[in-house]
């Protein structure tokens, strides 16, 4: 859950569809604050409202909005750099984990322990997993690229089936 750091702010959202199902992309005046995959737009708007209590949610109703189009393009090919600003808010530790995740190239993966070691806190792999679960930006902050120490898939906030789909999609891109 996000803190009330978005209290009183307007969050604009737009929904679309890709290989992960329905996708909701949301942004503040600072940048993209959520990328949420799910089954239906209604479910995703409810998730957005739960994550950002106290914010005013506004439907953009514009699939050509630069921030929306850029994220949808990134979902198609995550090797391209993302040109939109992100508005990532969390604890200092979560933000550090999310930044470390963004350094894992498309088509690659790391273990929770490796991420903890890269951050200089080798015993924090469980805390890294918690920060991955709190990540509001699916694919954009690539928590799907974090695997168990033995290389197997572990939980994913949006379902292991989606995690496998993103990893397979990215693997296909890197083989082109």
Region 105-122 average pLDDT: 93
Q: What is the predicted pLDDT for the residue at 50? A: 94
Q: What are phi and psi of 124, to 5 degrees?
A: -100, 25
Most distant CA pair in the chain, distance: 45
Report the distance separating Cα 21 and Cα 101, nearest Å: 23
According to DSSP, the residues that pair with 27 across neighbouring strands are 12, 32
* Mean of per-residue pLDDT scores for the chain: 90
Query: All domains of the chain, ordered by start, with CATH?
Result: 4-76 (3.30.160.70), 92-174 (1.10.10.10)
Q: What is the predicted pLDDT for the residue at 148? A: 82
E strands, 6-137, are 10-18, 21-27, 32-38, 56-59, 110-111
- pLDDT (tens digit, 9 = 90+) per residue, 12-70? 999 999 999 999 999 999 999 999 999 999 999 999 999 999 999 999 988 789 999 99
- Binning pLDDT at 50, 70 and 90, where does residue 11 land? very high
- pLDDT (tens digit, 9 = 90+) per residue, 70-84? 999 999 998 888 999
Report the distance separating Cα 58 and Cα 41, nearest Å: 13
Closest CA to 107 of 157, 66, 167: 167
Overall residue count recorded for the chain in this entry: 176
Task: Using the predicted structure, report yes or no on whether residue 175 has a pLDDT greater than 90.
Answer: no
Region 97-102 average pLDDT: 96
Three-state DSSP class for residue 175 = coil
Three-state DSSP class for residue 53 = coil
User: What one-character-per-residue DSSP string does 130-155 give?
Assistant: HHHHH-SBTTTS-GGGEE-TTS----
Three-state DSSP class for residue 45 = helix
- Binning pLDDT at 50, 70 and 90, where does residue 174 land? confident
Known catalytic residues are 143
Lowest mean pLDDT segment, chosen from 29-38, 103-112, 150-159: 150-159
**Residues whose CB is less than 8 angstroms from the CB of residue 137 and which lie 6 or more positions away in sequence, other chains included:** 32, 33, 34, 35, 86, 88, 98
pTM: 0.90
């Amino acid at each position: 859950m996000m803190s009330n750091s978005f209290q009183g702010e307007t969050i604009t959202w737009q929904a679309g569809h890709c290989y992960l199902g329905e996708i909701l992309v949301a942004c503040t005046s600072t940048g993209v604050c959520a990328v949420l995959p799910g089954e239906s737009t209604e479910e995703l708007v409810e998730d957005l409202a739960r994550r950002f209590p106290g914010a005013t949610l506004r439907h953009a109703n514009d699939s050509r909005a630069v921030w929306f189009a850029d994220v949808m393009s990134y979902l198609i090919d995550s090797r391209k750099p993302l040109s939109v600003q992100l508005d990532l808010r969390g604890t200092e530790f979560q933000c550090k984990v999310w930044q470390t995740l963004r350094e894992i190239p498309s088509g690659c993966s790391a273990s929770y322990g490796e991420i903890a070691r890269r951050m200089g806190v080798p015993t924090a792999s469980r805390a890294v997993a918690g920060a991955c679960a709190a990540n509001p930006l699916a694919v954009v902050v690539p928590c799907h690229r974090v695997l168990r120490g033995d290389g197997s898939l572990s939980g994913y906030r949006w379902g292991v089936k989606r995690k496998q789909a993103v990893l397979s999609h990215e693997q296909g891109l890197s083989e082109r």
